[in-house]
Structure 1
Amino acid sequence: MTMKRRPGLFLLVPLSLAFCLPSCRSTERFVRPQMDVPEGADATQDAALSIHTRPRWWQVFHSSNLDRLEERAFLYNRDLAHAAAVVDKAAAMASAEAAGELPQASLKAGAARQELTKGQQYSQSLPERGRDLWQASGILSYEVDLWGKLRMRSGAAQADLLASAAARDAVWLRLSAEVASGYISVCTWQEKCDIIRRVHESYEQTCSMYEKRFEQGQYPELALRRVQAERDKTLAQLRKAENELSKAESILAVLVGESPRAIISGGKTRGREELLSMTPPAIPAGIPADVIDRRPDICEWEMRLRAAHERKEAARADRYPSLVLTGELGHVSTALEEVLNQPTRLYDIGGSMLQTLFDGGRKRAALDAASAEYKATEAAYEQSVLVAFREIRDALVERRQGAAIYDATKSEVDCLRRSWDIASRQYDAGYIGLMDALDTHRSLLNGELEMADAEEMRLNAVVKLCKALGGGWKGS
C-alpha cells in the first residue's frame, strides 16, 4: 500500500518555525529619553499638533491686517509648500514600507525555445529536437516577520512621516512668527517715517520764515544756516527711514508669497492700525506643562529618534534567519493555444529559510551605523530640549525688560514733549536762543524714535514668547 504525498507536509517545518521563533527574541520598545527639565514641564504625548489644530496665537494682537497676512502666508509661502511636499513624500515612503509586511502577488508569462537531446526526442516521439514552451502562472510570496524586522522598518517610516509633519509645523510656526515680526517692523518704520516727516515739515516752515527774514536783514546768516542744517539732517533721516521701510515691506512680501512684480511695485502692506499703541496681552507665570509637546521642533527630533531606534532594531533583526513562503500556480504547454488547458496545469508551494554565514561584516557594520545614528539623534533631541527652555527663558526676560524699557522711554518722551512745549514758548517770547530751542526739538525727535524702537521690542517680545512656547499659551 502506498501513501499519497501531500504538498502541505513540506511546509510543516517552516511554519512551525514561523510560529515558534518569534518567541525567542523580542525587540526593545522606544522610550523617550529622561531629562532634568523644570517641574511641570514633562509631558507624555508623542505627536506634534497638526497645523490645523494649532492655535492662531497672533490673534492676541487683534490686527485684521496681520490676520490677513498670516493666512496669505500659509497659502502662498514657498518654504511651507516645500515642507508640505516633504510630508507627502514621507507618507508615500511609509506606505511602501508597510507594503513589505503583506504578501506579494505577481503574474509571470513567458515563451522559450528548448533544445532536447536525441534521447529525449526518441523517448517522447517528437518529430524534431527543438520545441517551444509557453508558460503563464501566478506567484504568491510572503516573508514571515520572525524577528520584527519588517515591522521595525515600517515603524521607522511612520516615525519619519511624523517627523516630517512636525518639521512642517516648525516651518509653520517660524513663518507665523516671521510674518508677525515683519509686520511689526513695517509698522515701526511707518511710525518713524511719520515722526521724522512731521519734524521735517516743521523745519521746512521755520526755514522758509528764516530765509524771508534773512533777506530782509532781520536774522543773521548763522541762524539761517543752523535751521537749514537741521532741515537737511531730518530729510536725510527721512530718506533712510523710507529706505528701511521699503526693505521691511519687501521682506514681508516674500514671506506672504507675493510675486516678483508685486514686490517691485511695493506699497501693498502698509496700514499701521493701532498695533504699536496697543497694550500687549498678559502672559501667565510659569512654563506650560506640555511645552515639550507643543514645540514642533522637539516633536520632530523625538520622532527622528524613534525612527533611528526602529532602524537600529531592524538592523539587529536582519542578522537572524529569514523565512519566505512561496507558491506558484500556472500552466506550461508546447502549444500557445493549449497553455490554459487543464492537463498543462502545474503548482509549486514551499518555504525556505536563509541565514547569512559570511558577508564580510556588512550586516554588523549596518547595525553599528544604526546604533551611531541613534546616539547622534538622541544628542540632537536633548539639545533641542535645552534650546527650547533657553529660548523660553530669554523670551520671558525680554518680555519683562521690554516692558520696563518702554515705560521708561515713554516717561522720557513725556518729559521731552513738555520741555519742547516750554522751550517753544520761551523762544517765541525771546527768553532763550535758537540753539537751545533746536537742541530741545532734536532731543524730542530722538526720544520719539527710541520710543518707536521700544514699542517694537515690546511687541516682538510677545512674538518670541509665543514662538518659544510652541504657538502661544492656553487661553491666548
Structure 2
Amino acid sequence: MMPRFKIAHLAVIATLMPGCMMVGPDYKRPEANVPPQYSAVEPVQASNEAEVSSTWWQLYQDPVLNELVEKALKNNTDIKLAVAKVEESDAYLREVGAALFPEIDFDGSGSRSRISQLGATPLPSSVPPVRNNFSGQIGTNFELDFWGRLRRLKESARAQALSTRYAKDTVDLSLKGLVVSNYLLLRSLEAQTALTEDSLKSREESLALTKRRLQGGVSSGLDVEQAQVASSNLVAQVAELKRQRDIAEHQLAVLTGDLALTIPAGTLDSLPIPPIPPVGLPSSLLAARPDIRQSEASMIAANANIGVAKAALFPTISLTANYGGQSADLSDVLKSAARIWTGGLSLNLPIFDSGRLDARVDQATAKQKQALASYESSIQTGFKEVSDALVTLSRTAEREAALQTSKDASKRALMIAENRYKSGYSGYLDVLDSQRTYNDAALAYIQSRQSRLSASVDLFKALGGGWKDPQQQAVAKQ
C-alpha cells in the first residue's frame, strides 16, 4: 500500500500550485488619451438633475413606446443570439476553471479467459485453464500549474465571458435605440401626413373656389389648372408619407418580434424633450459604454494569452496516481491482499522546436497589440459620438425654434394671400406660393422636432444608456 505520507505529500504539492509564479504580463489598464471634458457646447433646456435613469426611453413618457421596447428586449432575435453566446462563454469558463482541480476517474474491468493446455509450456494439472480477472481502481492525472498556464487560461476565459456579456449589453443598447428612433420616425411621418392632409383640404377648397370663380367669369382656366396641379401633388405626397409610415411600422414589427404589430395613431408634439445632462461631463463616463468595456475585456483576454504562450516554453509537470484492487474473484477485490497502486510525476520539457513556441508568443503579443489599438479606437469613437450628440442636440434646438417662427409667419402670410385673392386684390399664383411655403415650413418644423428627439436618443446611446453626475453621487454617499 502507498505510504500515507507520500499521499499527503502529493496532496500538499497540488494544493500549493496556485501560489506558484505566473509567467506573462499582468494586466494594467492603459491611460485614455482623451480630453478631461467634452466640448463645451451649451445645450438648450439643459437640466441640472443628478441622474438620468438607465431606462431612458421612459423619459419620453409614451406608454406605446415603453411597450415596444419591453417587447423587443423579450422577443428580438439578436438579443436571443447574444444571450446564447453569453451562456456559451460561461460554460467555457467553467470548463477552463475545472482544469485547476484534479480529475478523478474510476476504471473497472472484469474478464474470463482460457489458456491453452497444449502450448509450448504445458500447464500443470493443478492450474485450471479457465481464469477470472477482476479489477477496480481510481486514478488521477493532474497538471501542476507551476508557471500559471492554467490560471492564465482561466483569466483569459473570464475576460472572454465578460466580453460576451458586454457584447450583449451593446446589442441591448443598440436595439433600444433602434426601437425609439423608428418610433419617433413613425410619429413624425404621421404628423407630416396629418399636416399634408389638412393642406390638401385647403387646396381642394381653393380648387372648388376657382372653379366657381371661373363659372362666374372672375377667374381664368389657368387658375383652375394650377389649383388642380397643387391638389394632385399633395395627394401623391400623402400616399408617399403613408408608405413610409407603413415601412417604419414593419421595421418595428421585426425589431419587437411581433410581425402582426399594429401601432395606434399618436402625435409627435406630445413627446417631451427628456432631461439633458449638463455640459462638461467627465470623459471617464466613457467607461459606462458597453462597447468600450467589451474592448477592454478582449484586451485583458489577449494579455492573459501571452502568459499561456510563454508557459509553453517551460516544462509541463503532471501528477499521476492510481489506487484500487485486482483479484481472480470479484468478492476479493476489496481485500487488502488485492490492493494495487501506482504514483509518480511526469515531465515534458521542450528542447528543440525550430522556434514554433517562440512564434506563438509573438503571435499572442501581436494580438494583444491589436486589442489595445481596438480599445483606444473605441474610446476615441465614444468620445466623438458624445461630442457629436451634444452639438447636434444644441443646434437642432436652435433650428426648431427658428422653424417654429417660420411656420407661424408663413401661416399668417397664407391667410393674407387667401383674403387678398378672395377680394380680388391679387392673383391665384400668390395663394399657391403661400400654400407651398406654409406646407414646406410646417413639414420642416415637424422634421426638425423629430431630429431633436432623435439627437437625444443618440446622446443616451453615446453615454452608454444612462447618466449619473459623479459629484452628486459623491455627495449622496457622504
Written as runs of structure 1 = structure 2, the 5 A alignment for 1:151-230 is: 151-215=151-215, 219-230=219-230
2:91 is matched with which residue? 92
Residues 410, 121 of structure 1: CA spacing in aligned structure 2 closer, same or farther, 3 A cutoff? Answer: farther
Q: Which shows bigger deviation, 308-317 or 213-222?
A: 213-222
Written as runs of structure 1 = structure 2, the 5 A alignment for 1:369-408 is: 369-408=363-402
Q: Distance in 1 between matches of 2:155 and 2:385?
A: 32
Q: Distance in 2 between matches of 1:106 and 1:85?
A: 31
- Show CA shifts across 1:193-218 (max 9, x none): 00100011122222234335545655
Deviation at 1:226, TM superposition (A): 0.8
Deviation at 1:428, TM superposition (A): 1.9
2:436 is matched with which residue? 442
Gaps of at least 5 residues in structure 2 are 39-51, 473-478
2:251 is matched with which residue? 251
Q: Distance in 2 between matches of 1:304 and 1:80?
A: 20
Deviation at 1:159, TM superposition (A): 0.6
Q: Distance in 2 between matches of 1:415 and 1:355?
A: 87
Counting matched residue pairs gives 455
Residues 119, 109 of structure 1: CA spacing in aligned structure 2 closer, same or farther, 3 A cutoff? Answer: farther
Deviation at 1:154, TM superposition (A): 0.9
2:26 is matched with which residue? 29
Deviation at 1:66, TM superposition (A): 1.8
SS at match of 1:327: strand
Deviation at 1:152, TM superposition (A): 0.9
AA aligned to 1:308 is A
Residues 281, 427 of structure 1: CA spacing in aligned structure 2 closer, same or farther, 3 A cutoff? Answer: farther
SS at match of 2:468: coil
Q: Is the 8 A contact 1:423 1:440 kept in 2?
A: yes
Q: Which shows bigger deviation, 59-68 or 178-187?
A: 59-68
Written as runs of structure 1 = structure 2, the 5 A alignment for 1:12-161 is: 26-39=23-36, 55-111=54-110, 126-128=127-129, 131-161=131-161
2:47 is matched with which residue? none
AA aligned to 2:27 is F
AA aligned to 1:34 is E
Deviation at 1:88, TM superposition (A): 0.8
Residues 23, 154 of structure 1: CA spacing in aligned structure 2 closer, same or farther, 3 A cutoff? Answer: closer
Deviation at 1:350, TM superposition (A): 2.5
Deviation at 1:162, TM superposition (A): 0.6
- Show CA shifts across 1:275-331 (max 9, x none): 45x345333111235422211000001001101111111121122112222221222
Residues 10, 61 of structure 1: CA spacing in aligned structure 2 closer, same or farther, 3 A cutoff? Answer: closer
Q: Distance in 1 between matches of 2:409 and 2:322?
A: 94
SS at match of 1:323: strand
- Show CA shifts across 1:119-146 (max 9, x none): 9975996333x74433221113322211
Deviation at 1:367, TM superposition (A): 2.0
Q: Which shows bigger deviation, 8-17 or 454-463?
A: 8-17
1:44 is matched with which residue? none
Deviation at 1:395, TM superposition (A): 1.0
Matching of residue 272 in structure 1 with residue 267 in structure 2 = yes
Structure 1 length as normaliser, TM-score? 0.87
Q: Is the 8 A contact 1:142 1:326 kept in 2?
A: yes
Q: Distance in 2 between matches of 1:255 and 1:17?
A: 52
Q: Distance in 1 between matches of 2:366 and 2:420?
A: 77
Matching of residue 308 in structure 1 with residue 307 in structure 2 = no
1:330 is matched with which residue? 324
Q: Is the 8 A contact 2:309 2:361 kept in 1?
A: yes
User: Could you tell me the percent identity over the aligned residues?
Assistant: 28
Q: Distance in 2 between matches of 1:13 and 1:252?
A: 63
Q: Distance in 1 between matches of 2:449 and 2:17?
A: 70
Q: Which shows bigger deviation, 465-474 or 302-311?
A: 465-474
Q: Is the 8 A contact 1:63 1:273 kept in 2?
A: no
Residues 121, 358 of structure 1: CA spacing in aligned structure 2 closer, same or farther, 3 A cutoff? Answer: farther
SS at match of 1:127: coil
AA aligned to 1:271 is G
Residues 171, 18 of structure 1: CA spacing in aligned structure 2 closer, same or farther, 3 A cutoff? Answer: closer
Q: Is the 8 A contact 1:14 1:353 kept in 2?
A: no
